[in-house]
């Protein structure tokens, strides 16, 4: 009797299947401090496994990125298209085939797989029981000691040895990060209900005359005076745009924005911004739901760049998460959800600012590098990405230097300075903070040296100058990685920003303020280039560390303590608290045209 077709197919499938191999540890981490294992995860709880396939030609993408971002290269500004970027990061067909077979072997059909446009990410939603079988591991519920946020995670997972070459990483598995807004502590003050009157000017260190009131209250006018952009009027508003990212259920309030405009940018009254919802993001317009971080971001970035169109990306997938059998999803790492969305778009804003981050060491190195590679793709497409450098000085995310732990999460509990991520990614521009006029480094400005990313070539001269000439030999030896990517790159005013929040005026601060305001000036630079028929700036750092150095106000006073130390000092030239300094828009405009 002839065998049935299904039987023959099954036999052939076994005959031609890839050789199987025993499970081997793919990744292992120590649970970060303050995370407590409270028991086994419910077996029917659904986890969204995001599988990263190796980007087989990423080095070629990186070469393109640096060539088109180098102002002295013939290809400067020749940004890649979406399709060209996707072709460079697409995985090798062998990896696609191997992963497809592995998933099919676990009963996951093609219809259950969600693939990124470049096919370098695959997302599958599976119950914990299946995830444990696929990854030869056990998932547990972990609760954070400080605020009881909960996640379903494991401290290690395995893959068949033959699959290690075809899968770069799988998350959320060992990812325990807790994305936070940087500082952004809003404070009301009766004296701040009315805007301070402009008073006689004071001469700043960079020769600009600025209202004396700017020493205690920062407004859009103050920043334009201080950074030499008072007379610039955007003209490329049909081509140029700026965007802010929002996480943690932060809502940017339209009514607050109108009050802000009436107070500081009267010409902008009745204008607004677009909202893009990603992965269940929210933008609740109930006044009590307004977020101080979101209000700060949109008010100052859009106030500076007006009338440039603006977008607020609101991305869900954030704690708190309470695991139970009715919870369909657990994904408290929103950067990749945001990256998935924006990389799939044909047209993107030329300037994007993010005021959120976490300690670098709470993010597995493999994951940090993969997210950073996503930022490189955006840079190659002509997007300037700015990130707050953090608000803990050289220490961890705790803004109080007296309570920072500053210990490694590798099981050794060694005292180290703690850099922040994503600011430590070499493909973004990290923004530190200053205060007062003349400007000095603000004492919470995050800075230091990455333990994951090597120092990029564009930083070599500036950072070596600091390490060999400005930092006394042996200072903080062993507490930081002198070969690491150094942050911040630049800085800007970071405290006493006057915003409107839930219908009231008040002051707010943090590098959460310096990043969106710096982004506003970058957007004006992009406007200048687009108005002259030139492409946008894209990835900024190679320009800033070469031709751009002369267009920054060098900040040489102040320090940012942390980890029980005074931290680094602001010095002549680049330093790991204010970077290259604060911008002179007029000089930068002349350089980029």
Cβ partners under 8 Å of residue 206, min gap 6: 226, 228, 553, 582, 584
Rounded to whole angstroms, the Cα distance separating 82 from 93 reads 20
Rounded to whole angstroms, the Cα distance separating 444 from 495 reads 10
Closest CA to 372 of 23, 13, 62, 22: 62
Classify residue 271 by its DSSP letter.
Answer: -
What residue spans of 163-309 are helical by DSSP H? Answer: 220-226, 254-264, 292-305
Rounded to whole angstroms, the Cα distance separating 101 from 95 reads 10
Contact 508, 433 (CB under 8 A): no
Rounded to whole angstroms, the Cα distance separating 46 from 225 reads 53
Distance of CA 153 to the CA centre of its chain: 23
Contact 24, 159 (CB under 8 A): yes
| Other beta carbons within 10 Å of 587 | 16
Please identify every residue annotated as catalytic: 293, 297, 512
Rounded to whole angstroms, the Cα distance separating 198 from 212 reads 7
Contact 480, 448 (CB under 8 A): yes
Distance of CA 220 to the CA centre of its chain: 24
Peptide bond between residue 438 and the one before it cis (omega within 30 degrees of 0): yes
């Amino acid at each position: 009797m002839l065998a049935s077709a299904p039987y023959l197919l099954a036999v052939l499938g076994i005959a031609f299947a890839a050789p199987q191999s025993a499970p081997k540890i793919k990744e292992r981490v120590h649970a970060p401090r303050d995370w407590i294992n409270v028991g086994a995860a419910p077996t029917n709880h659904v986890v969204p496994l995001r599988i990263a396939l190796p980007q087989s030609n990423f080095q070629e993408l990186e070469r393109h990125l640096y060539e088109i971002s180098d102002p002295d290269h013939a290809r400067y500004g020749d940004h890649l298209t979406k399709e060209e970027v996707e072709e460079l990061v697409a995985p090798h067909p062998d990896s696609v085939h191997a992963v497809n077979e592995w998933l099919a072997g676990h009963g996951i059909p093609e219809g259950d797989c969600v693939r990124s446009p470049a096919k370098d990410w695959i997302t599958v939603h599976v119950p914990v029981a299946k995830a444990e079988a696929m990854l030869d591991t056990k998932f547990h519920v972990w609760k954070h000691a400080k605020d009881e946020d909960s996640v379903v995670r494991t401290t290690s997972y395995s893959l068949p040895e033959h699959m290690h070459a075809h899968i770069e990483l799988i998350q959320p598995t060992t990812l325990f990060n807790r994305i936070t807004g940087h500082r952004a502590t809003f404070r009301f003050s009766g004296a701040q209900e009315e805007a301070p009157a402009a008073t006689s000017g004071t001469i700043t260190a960079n020769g600009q005359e600025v209202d004396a009131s700017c020493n205690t209250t920062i407004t859009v006018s103050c920043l334009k005076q201080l950074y030499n952009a008072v007379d610039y009027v955007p003209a490329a508003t049909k081509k140029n745009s700026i965007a802010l990212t929002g996480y943690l259920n932060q809502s940017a309030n339209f009514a607050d924005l109108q009050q802000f405009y009436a107070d500081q940018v009267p010409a902008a009254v009745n204008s607004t911004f677009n909202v893009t919802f990603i992965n269940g993001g929210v933008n609740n317009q109930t006044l009590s739901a307004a977020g101080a971080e979101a209000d700060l971001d949109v008010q100052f970035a859009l106030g500076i760049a007006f009338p440039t169109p603006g977008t607020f990306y609101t991305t869900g997938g954030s704690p708190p998460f309470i695991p139970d059998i009715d919870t369909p999803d657990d994904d408290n790492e929103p950067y990749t959800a945001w990256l998935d969305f924006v990389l799939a778009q044909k047209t993107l804003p030329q300037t994007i600012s993010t005021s959120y981050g976490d300690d670098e060491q709470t993010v597995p190195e493999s994951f940090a590098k993969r997210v950073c590679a996503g930022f490189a793709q955006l840079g190659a497409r002509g997007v300037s990405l700015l990130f707050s450098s953090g608000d803990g000085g050289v220490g961890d995310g705790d803004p109080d230097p007296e309570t920072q732990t500053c210990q490694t999460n590798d099981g050794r509990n060694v005292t180290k300075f703690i850099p922040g991520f994503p600011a430590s990614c070499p493909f973004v521009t990290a923004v530190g903070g200053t205060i007062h006029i003349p400007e000095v480094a603000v004492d919470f400005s995050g800075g230091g040296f990455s333990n994951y990313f090597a120092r990029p070539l564009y930083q070599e001269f500036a950072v070596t100058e600091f390490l060999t000439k400005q930092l006394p030999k042996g200072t903080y030896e062993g507490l930081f990685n002198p070969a690491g990517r150094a942050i911040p790159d630049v800085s800007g005013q970071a405290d006493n920003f006057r915003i409107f929040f839930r219908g009231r005026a008040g002051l707010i601060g943090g590098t959460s303020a310096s990043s969106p305001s710096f982004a506003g000036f970058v957007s004006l630079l992009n406007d200048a280039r687009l108005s002259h028929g030139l492409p946008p700036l894209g990835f900024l750092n190679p320009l800033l560390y070469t031709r751009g150095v002369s267009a920054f106000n060098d900040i040489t006073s102040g320090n940012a303590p942390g980890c029980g130390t005074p931290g680094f000092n602001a010095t002549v030239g680049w330093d790991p608290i204010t970077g290259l300094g604060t911008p002179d828009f007029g000089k930068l405009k002349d350089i980029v045209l």
